[in-house]
Structure 1
Amino acid sequence: MTLWEVDIYPASGHVDRLAAAIVGDAEDLQIATHLEIATAHGFLVQADFDADHIQLLADQLLVDNVVESAVVAQAGDAALAEPPAPIYDRLIHVMPKPGVMDPVAQSTQGAIADFGKPAEAVRTFRKYWIGGLDDQQTDRLVNKLLANDSIEQVIQGPIQLERLSFGKSQPFELKTVGIRALDDDGLAKLSKEGQLYLTLVEMQTIQKYFQELGRDPTDIELETVAQTWSEHCSHKTLAGKIAYKDEKQELRFDNMLKETIFAATQEIRKSLGDNDWCVSVFKDNAGVVTFNDEYNVCFKVETHNHPSALEPYGGANTGIGGVIRDPMGTGMGAKPICNTDVFCFAPPETDPGSLPPGVLHPRRVMKGVVSGVRDYGNRMGIPTVNGAVYFDERYLGNPLVYCGNVGLLPVDMSFKEVKPNDLIVAVGGRTGRDGIHGATFSSAELTSESESLSGGAVQIGNAITEKMVLDVLLEARDRNLYNAVTDCGAGGFSSAVGEMGEELGAEVWLEKAPLKYEGLSYTEIWISEAQERMVLAVPEEKWPELEALFASEGSEAVILGKFVPTGNLKLTYNGETVGELDMRFLHDGRPPIVRDAVFTPPTVHPLSLTGEDQSSLGDDLRKILSSLNVASKEWIIRQYDHEVQGGSVIKPLVGVQNDGPSDAAVVRPVLNSRKGIVLSCGMNPHFGDFDPYDMAASAIDEAMRNCVAVGADPSKIAILDNFCWGYTDRPETLGTLVRAALACRDLALALGTPFISGKDSLNNEFSYVDEEGNKQTIAIPPTLLISAMGQVEDVSTCVTMDFKGAGNRVYVVGLTKDELGGSHWSLINKRAGGQVPQVDTDLSKKVFAGIHAAIQAKSVAACHDLSEGGLAVALAEMAFAGGLGAEVKLDNVPHALSDPSAVALLFGESNTRFVCEVPEEDAAKFEAALKDAPFAQIGQVASHKELVVQHDGQKLLDEPIELLKQAWQAPLNW
């Protein structure tokens, strides 16, 4: 076999865009200011081809001859190493490590076969010629920008590989782990070095189980228990026994999650009686609610934090791919109709010299995460319609990546049941070493060594494979060819088969799994989290039809085993039993986590406004608009396709130039119906520094008011919780989590808003040793994302936030309170103290109902919720989104302030408030709808292009909306 190399360059006269981007990034990261670089990309093709055939492939398949040119030769040929110009003195190749998923190479190999001659192997690479740097600068450039050691290998100089070796078959060897004789130190060492990440009590429980069996576990048995018992899969902290204490109460939970969030949902459902619109909550891959007579809708939001910290593109890519598979694996399989995403990053202007070892620069993380989510969603043809981005220095070691998906599910396909003797069928992608230990790794704290130790926990996705699986899966569903389906997520086959067979038992024949390459052990096959795989329970008589259907669409389907009513999980490899576990021990044998939780509220000092200079209010407004958490996220939004599938009604950006910030997305999932779903989110981590209870309450209120602002019915909004926290073994950290969960319970019950699904990601801390040899830890702030899904009967009644017409009235609805604590005004002015915003649920219900009634009465031209930046920011955003000005007076703003200062009225961030634009002729209808809520007219929309604000007869603001818009758009206008 010959190893051919195809180098592909920008054609003569075309810009080397990759080189230009690297130069800019190198300057941003202070790696080099005088970098000279040229780039190429290419393919290594291992095949029995002659020179003419490889040239034919280059010309007709691999190269875009309009904008690219190619050089073809055998790998290692000196001609391939020649620099394009004499200024370059170094040659660097970067390619995926052996065993790392390479989707482009995979699809290229298939395309090459279509030319009549197959290639044995294909691999992609990137090529860089570098000039003007010394050795140290070159190393920094390579390690910080050009390559990621988690998934890529670097070759200095020409490629000298003899062949593309991905794996070699190994002789079978059954491995056992001597656990029965270990002392506690030995158990702890095994847990850590084996990347099991189990507690000592859990290791002791496993030890006792096998002592009673009279044998040691095999490696696959130990790994199976570790996957199933991982924090990621079993949520053992939130579902554990907790003794909680704060300054007012002491509580004991046997299962904290069930007794707070779950319990609230059950109580709400009971109160609804025959009008219960929840279908399936907290028991399938996604929460399901009713939509219309024909369809239900389901919603799931996942986190993919740890992998995204190591490899931002791959981590986020597989995060969105994984959550898309959740609705696909809900009931008998839902059709994904839209995506959501929420990101938390450290500030992109972070000094590169301040980065701890093992931490990628936030700018690189941000670009990688955004492109990973973009590529997967766009390639699958699923619109990304809603999201948010938050910045805080404490996300430096652990960026947070929340990915969500909504699916459409036929009413009669909303449940599933595995039947005895159903075949275990794996469909979709092949299994490789990517993603091994992903579930256990996600349950651990990151360190400066995680990049090198846990790189295998990062998967690389292939959206095209998942799209093929999706299309044929829905066809198989409609033909009734299987009884149950789930996705291979964390833990791979281990968790998918283990969960499906929990009530029955299962026998798995591991050698049947299709592999990406040779050399995987039976354990690696079982726990790999390679992407794009689903597991079906198929009646034996329907297997031939299902196999033929998948084959007709170019998607693999293979029998892995059978669900058998033994109560055991039995794993075999080429006829040898390699593992056998009692399902009851596997799923119910984990010892309960018993933990103490303590919450001591921080001392709150009053925030004095004495002596505030009103002449600086315009500067304050521009500073808030240009702060990262308020500024436009257009650079991200415009990379996503939010129109595909044709159902988008209200998009992420709205207004006369489609660049204003929408409160929520509205989508028609069924195109021949006017009924829509509304998607929004709420989160404010900074409030958690004051009180996690108020943070959680405010997040729920924000998610709901975003939904209500566009027209959603507040009586039918479902919400999801995603807790991302630090190291919860500390009682004070766990105390903040419990306090947030208590708020979730209380708000859900008070507002009649059920939780239908959720997910947690704990231990989001990063540890390293500083230059003085001291251990340092960066913990994320307690971060709770609330995602909301509402519904509208007729999408034509929905409204957007941009001002529509000069002369229309401007109203404020809701109460402004003395709540500047944690506000953006206090942040930009470095003012500590103050009361953080709280939620008055009685007021919330009245305001939400009134706003909904006013929108249904078609009396509202525009509606915008008040959140970050308060009234001043809301007015500015409505004005520049609509291309109109406004003239308002603060004297009439409804408030509960002892001192109604301009700062408190303009920049307070109290909950449950809206600004509404109302045509003069509809004012009576609007006011009648809001009769039970506090509201007042504060001014009118103006034809001029300024935001003018007066108070007590003084003009406080007279700001051109174009300048406000520029301040808002500039920070992330990359």
Structure 2
Amino acid sequence: MTLWEIDIYPSADERDAAADSLIAAAADLGLASDLQVATSRGFLIQADFNRDHVELLSDQLLCDTVVEQAKVDEAGADALSQPPAPGLSQLVYVLPKPGVMDPVAQSTMTAIADFGQSAAAVRTFRKYWLPELPPPLFDKLCNKLLANDAIEQVIVGPIPFEQLSFGKPYEFALATTSIRQLDDAGLTKLSKEGQLYLTLVEMQTIQKYFNELGRDPTDIELESVAQTWSEHCSHKTLAGRIAYKDEKGERKFNNMLKETIFAATQEIRKSLGDKDWCVSVFQDNAGIVRFDDEHNIVFKVETHNHPSALEPYGGANTGIGGVVRDPMGTGMGAKPICNTDVFCFAPPDVDPETLPPGVLHPRRVMNGVVSGVRDYGNRMGIPTVNGAVYFDERYLGNPLVYCGNVGLIPQQHSFKEVKPNDLIVALGGRTGRDGIHGATFSSAELTSESESLSGGAVQIGNAITEKMVLDVLLEARDRGLFNAVTDCGAGGFSSAVGEMGEKIGADVWLDRAPLKYDGLSYTEIWISEAQERMVLAVPDHKWDELEELCSSEGVEATIIGRFAPTGRLKLFYYQEAVGDLDMKFLHDGRPPIVREATYQPLPVKPLKLPAAKSCDFAGDLKQILGSLNVASKHWIIRQYDHEVQGGSAIKPLVGVLNDGPGDAAVVRPVLTSQRGVVVSCGMNPRYGDFDTYDMATSAIDEAMRNCVAVGADPSQIAILDNFCWGYTDRPETLGSLVRSAIACYDMAIALGTPFISGKDSLNNEFSYFNDAGEKQRISIPPSLLISALGQVDDVRRCVTMDLKKTGSKLYVVGKTFHELGGSHWSLIHDQPHGAAPKVNAAMAKSTFASLHKAIHGGLVRACHDLSEGGLAVAAAEMAFAGGLGAELSLDNMPHDEAAKHPISLLFSESNTRFLVEVPAENEKQFQSVLAGIPHAAIGTVIEKPTLTISLKKTKLVSASLDELKQAWLAPLDW
């Protein structure tokens, strides 16, 4: 069998785009300013093909002959090693590591077969020719730009093709793990080195279980328990027993999540009685709420932080792919209608020389994460309509990647039930080594060695496969071909089958699982987190029709077991019993985690404000507009398709040039109806530096007011929580999380806003040793994302934030307080003190209801919430988004006495505030609707493209819209 190499280059008259990108990246990172490089991409094909057939494949399938040219030869031929230009003497190949999912190679295998002959194996590679460089610079280029050690290998010079592995058959050998005689030190060592990441108490519990059985566990049994008991799958910290102490006293939780987040929802639902619009909460892969007479709406937001830190593209790619499968696996399967994504990065201008070992540069992380989310959503045909980006130097070791999906499901398909003796059917992608230990890996902190030790935990996605699975799944659902479905997420088959069969039992035949390549052991098959896979519970008499449907659509469906009513999980490999666990032990046997948690609020230190006469308010405004957290994210947004499916009513960017920062997205899920879904988010980790209670309530308030600002009914908004925290074994770190959960309970109850789903990601810390041998730790700030799901009766009543017409009056709604702690004004002036914004929940509820009434009544032309940067930033954004100027006077602005300083009036980030454009003829009616709510007319929309803001006839700000907009656009105008 011959190994053929096909190299594909840009044609002579085409630029080498990959080379240009590499040169620019090297300059950005300060590695080289005048680098010369040439690139190609290529394929290795192992097959009994003659040269003519390989050249046919190259011309007709692999190479775009309009803009590319190809070289074809047997692998290792001298002609393929010749540099394409003088002076480029160093040849570098970059290939996926053995076992890493290669979607292009997988698709190529299928396409080659369509030409009438099948290849035995295909691998892709990238090829670089570099000049002779000093070894340190050459190594940096290879490690920081050409390849990612988590998933790729670098080979310098011609490849030793005889050493390339295309997969070998697996030779079965049942492995057991000696655990019964281990002491505590041995158990701890096994947990860490085996990447189980279980506590000593948990390891002792497993030891006791097998001691009672009189045998040691097989490797697959131990892995099954570790996956099921992982923090990622069981949320054992937040759902555990916690003794919490703060300035108000002590409080004990038996299950902190149930007694805060869950409890709030249950109390709200009870108060609604027969008007309860929640359908399914905290019991399926995603939350479900009622939408119209025929449909319900499904919503879930997940995180994919650790994988994205190691391999940004693959981590984010499978983050969005994984969360799309959550609605697909909810009830009997929902149709995904839109995505939302929130990212937290370190600033992109970090000096590369200061990076700790094992940390990717933030700019590389940003590029990888954004392109990973872009490619998956766009290729699946799901619009990305909402999101946010936060920058903080503490995300250097652990970027955060939140991915969310909203789905539409017929009401009658909102629930599922596995029946005894249903077939276990694997649907979709094949199983490989990608993603092994992903669930347990996500429970551990990252270190400088994680990239090389945990690369297998990174999954690689294939959006086209998932789109095919989705189409088949929805058709099978409508034909009634299965009883239940769930996705293969964290833990792979072990979690999916284990959870579906928890109340019944399951027999699994692992040898029947379709594999991407030879060589996987039975344990790897069981715990692999390879993507694009769903598990169905199928009655015997429905199997033939399901198999025929899947075959007709090119989607693989395979019976891998049966839900047997034994109460046990039994695993087989070619009739050999390799695992046998009691379902009760697996799901209920984990010992409760008992934690100590403390929180001591920091004393509020007054923030000293300069004399007004010495302030450059316009300069401050431009500096805030140009700060990373406020600046335009158009570079990211414009890479996403937010129009696909045709339902987007309000898009991420709005205004006359479609470049203003919208508050929330509005989507019509049913195109024959004007009823809409509203998606927004709220988050500000900086407030957590002052008090995580205020951070949590502010996040809920922001998510709510973003929804209300476009027209959502505040009485029917559901919210989701995503807690991302540091190492919660420290009482003070866990205490800050518990405090925020208590705040979530208080705020949800006060607003009548139920939580319907959520997710936590803990231990987001990075540790390394500095040059002096001292252990250093980078912990993320407490980061709570609140995502909101609202509804509107008629999307035609919605409003956007851009100013619409000269002569309109501008009203501020809500009261301003002297709350500059964690504000953007404080950040640009390096002011660490002050008070973070608080929320008056009762006033917030009344304000939201009144403003909604005004918007719904057609009294409002534009509305923008006041958040990052306060009033001045909101006014600037509304003005340049609409291409109209504004004249404001702060004389009558509702404010607390302590907030009378112009800095507070302009830049305070107090909650529950809006800037609203009201037609002059609607003023009296608007004021009537807002009676009892702090509000005031503070300005007018003008034709002249300027923003002026005055106080007591003193002009504080006078700037052209163009200079304000350019300041806002510049930082991320990549």
Bin of the TM-score, shorter chain as denominator length = over 0.9
Three-state SS of the structure 2 residue aligned to 1:59 is helix
Three-state SS of the structure 2 residue aligned to 1:871 is helix
Structure 1 Cα separation of the partners of residues 203 and 612 of structure 2: 60
1:738 corresponds in structure 2 to 738
The residue identity in structure 2 corresponding to 1:127 is: K
1:669 corresponds in structure 2 to 669
Three-state SS of the structure 1 residue aligned to 2:258 is helix
Structure 2 Cα separation of the partners of residues 760 and 832 of structure 1: 28
Structure 2 Cα separation of the partners of residues 601 and 502 of structure 1: 42
Structure 2 Cα separation of the partners of residues 853 and 286 of structure 1: 30
1:657 equivalent to 2:657? Answer: yes
Structure 2 Cα separation of the partners of residues 942 and 848 of structure 1: 28
Does the CA-based 8 Å contact 2:90-2:132 persist in structure 1?
no
1:836 equivalent to 2:836? Answer: yes
2:890 corresponds in structure 1 to 890
What is the deviation of 1:932?
2.4
What is the deviation of 1:34?
2.4
What is the deviation of 1:945?
0.5
Does the CA-based 8 Å contact 1:3-1:162 persist in structure 2?
no
Q: Which runs of 5+ in 1 are unaligned?
A: none
Using the TM superposition, name which of 702-711 and 841-850 deviates more. Answer: 841-850
1:908 corresponds in structure 2 to 908
1:81 corresponds in structure 2 to 81
Structure 2 Cα separation of the partners of residues 124 and 899 of structure 1: 62
Structure 2 Cα separation of the partners of residues 614 and 531 of structure 1: 59
1:12 corresponds in structure 2 to 12
Structure 2 Cα separation of the partners of residues 658 and 610 of structure 1: 38
2:285 corresponds in structure 1 to 285
What is the deviation of 1:160?
3.0
Does the CA-based 8 Å contact 2:811-2:917 persist in structure 1?
yes
What is the deviation of 1:258?
0.1
Three-state SS of the structure 1 residue aligned to 2:578 is strand
Structure 2 Cα separation of the partners of residues 136 and 215 of structure 1: 53
Counting only pairs closer than 5 Å after superposition, residues 515-534 of structure 1 correspond to structure 2 as 515-534=515-534
The residue identity in structure 2 corresponding to 1:448 is: S
1:472 corresponds in structure 2 to 472
2:433 corresponds in structure 1 to 433
Does the CA-based 8 Å contact 2:612-2:902 persist in structure 1?
no
Q: CA RMSD of the aligned region, Å?
A: 0.8
Counting only pairs closer than 5 Å after superposition, residues 586-597 of structure 1 correspond to structure 2 as 586-597=586-597
Counting only pairs closer than 5 Å after superposition, residues 155-170 of structure 1 correspond to structure 2 as 155-162=155-162, 165-170=165-170
2:234 corresponds in structure 1 to 234
What is the deviation of 1:925?
2.1
Counting only pairs closer than 5 Å after superposition, residues 708-723 of structure 1 correspond to structure 2 as 708-723=708-723
2:920 corresponds in structure 1 to 920
Counting only pairs closer than 5 Å after superposition, residues 510-589 of structure 1 correspond to structure 2 as 510-589=510-589
Q: Relative to structure 1, is the Cα distance of residues 675 and 899 closer, same or farther in structure 2, using a 3 angstrom cutoff? A: closer
1:304 corresponds in structure 2 to 304
Does the CA-based 8 Å contact 1:358-1:450 persist in structure 2?
yes
Structure 2 Cα separation of the partners of residues 170 and 756 of structure 1: 44
Deviations 1:795-830 (A, max 9, x none): 000000000011100000000011111110011011
Three-state SS of the structure 1 residue aligned to 2:136 is helix
The residue identity in structure 1 corresponding to 2:937 is: Q
What is the deviation of 1:162?
3.4
1:644 equivalent to 2:647? Answer: no
Does the CA-based 8 Å contact 1:168-1:518 persist in structure 2?
yes
2:498 corresponds in structure 1 to 498
Does the CA-based 8 Å contact 1:857-1:925 persist in structure 2?
no
TM-score (norm 1): 0.99
Counting only pairs closer than 5 Å after superposition, residues 753-792 of structure 1 correspond to structure 2 as 753-792=753-792
Using the TM superposition, name which of 891-900 and 532-541 deviates more. Answer: 891-900
Deviations 1:402-445 (A, max 9, x none): 00000101000000000010000001000011100000000000
2:384 corresponds in structure 1 to 384
Does the CA-based 8 Å contact 1:630-1:868 persist in structure 2?
yes
1:328 corresponds in structure 2 to 328
The residue identity in structure 2 corresponding to 1:403 is: C
TM-score (norm 2): 0.99
The residue identity in structure 2 corresponding to 1:835 is: A
May I ask how many residue pairs the two structures share in their alignment? Answer: 974
Structure 1 Cα separation of the partners of residues 612 and 451 of structure 2: 49
Does the CA-based 8 Å contact 1:820-1:908 persist in structure 2?
yes
The residue identity in structure 2 corresponding to 1:101 is: M
Does the CA-based 8 Å contact 1:36-1:132 persist in structure 2?
no
2:346 corresponds in structure 1 to 346
Structure 2 Cα separation of the partners of residues 500 and 533 of structure 1: 15
Deviations 1:686-739 (A, max 9, x none): 000000000000000000000000000000000000000000000000000000
Q: Which runs of 5+ in 2 are unaligned?
A: none
Deviations 1:244-282 (A, max 9, x none): 001112100000000000000000000000000000000
Structure 1 Cα separation of the partners of residues 303 and 830 of structure 2: 32
The residue identity in structure 2 corresponding to 1:364 is: R
Structure 2 Cα separation of the partners of residues 346 and 610 of structure 1: 30
1:868 equivalent to 2:875? Answer: no
1:954 corresponds in structure 2 to 954
Does the CA-based 8 Å contact 1:35-1:133 persist in structure 2?
no
Three-state SS of the structure 2 residue aligned to 1:330 is coil
Structure 2 Cα separation of the partners of residues 899 and 789 of structure 1: 33
The residue identity in structure 1 corresponding to 2:96 is: P
Does the CA-based 8 Å contact 1:245-1:599 persist in structure 2?
yes
Counting only pairs closer than 5 Å after superposition, residues 675-714 of structure 1 correspond to structure 2 as 675-714=675-714
1:27 corresponds in structure 2 to 27
Deviations 1:458-502 (A, max 9, x none): 010000000000000100000000000000000000000000000
Does the CA-based 8 Å contact 2:384-2:642 persist in structure 1?
yes
What is the deviation of 1:921?
1.1
2:450 corresponds in structure 1 to 450
1:403 equivalent to 2:403? Answer: yes
Three-state SS of the structure 1 residue aligned to 2:734 is helix
Q: Relative to structure 1, is the Cα distance of residues 613 and 128 closer, same or farther in structure 2, using a 3 angstrom cutoff? A: farther
What is the deviation of 1:749?
0.1
Does the CA-based 8 Å contact 2:121-2:166 persist in structure 1?
no
Does the CA-based 8 Å contact 1:46-1:163 persist in structure 2?
no
Using the TM superposition, name which of 70-79 and 868-877 deviates more. Answer: 70-79
Deviations 1:563-592 (A, max 9, x none): 011111111111011111110010000000
The residue identity in structure 2 corresponding to 1:780 is: I
Three-state SS of the structure 2 residue aligned to 1:891 is coil
Structure 2 Cα separation of the partners of residues 21 and 175 of structure 1: 47
Structure 1 Cα separation of the partners of residues 614 and 337 of structure 2: 48
Does the CA-based 8 Å contact 1:46-1:164 persist in structure 2?
no
Does the CA-based 8 Å contact 2:383-2:645 persist in structure 1?
yes
What is the deviation of 1:163?
7.8
Structure 2 Cα separation of the partners of residues 329 and 118 of structure 1: 34
1:632 corresponds in structure 2 to 632
Does the CA-based 8 Å contact 2:725-2:737 persist in structure 1?
yes
2:40 corresponds in structure 1 to 40
1:2 corresponds in structure 2 to 2
1:194 corresponds in structure 2 to 194
Structure 2 Cα separation of the partners of residues 311 and 48 of structure 1: 35
Does the CA-based 8 Å contact 1:35-1:132 persist in structure 2?
no
What is the deviation of 1:283?
0.5
Does the CA-based 8 Å contact 1:121-1:164 persist in structure 2?
no
2:931 corresponds in structure 1 to 931
1:319 equivalent to 2:299? Answer: no
1:851 equivalent to 2:832? Answer: no
1:796 corresponds in structure 2 to 796
Does the CA-based 8 Å contact 2:817-2:899 persist in structure 1?
no
2:964 corresponds in structure 1 to 964
Three-state SS of the structure 2 residue aligned to 1:169 is coil
Does the CA-based 8 Å contact 2:816-2:899 persist in structure 1?
no
What is the deviation of 1:832?
2.2
What is the deviation of 1:603?
2.2
The residue identity in structure 1 corresponding to 2:568 is: N
The residue identity in structure 1 corresponding to 2:66 is: V
Structure 2 Cα separation of the partners of residues 801 and 539 of structure 1: 52
1:120 corresponds in structure 2 to 120
Three-state SS of the structure 1 residue aligned to 2:324 is helix
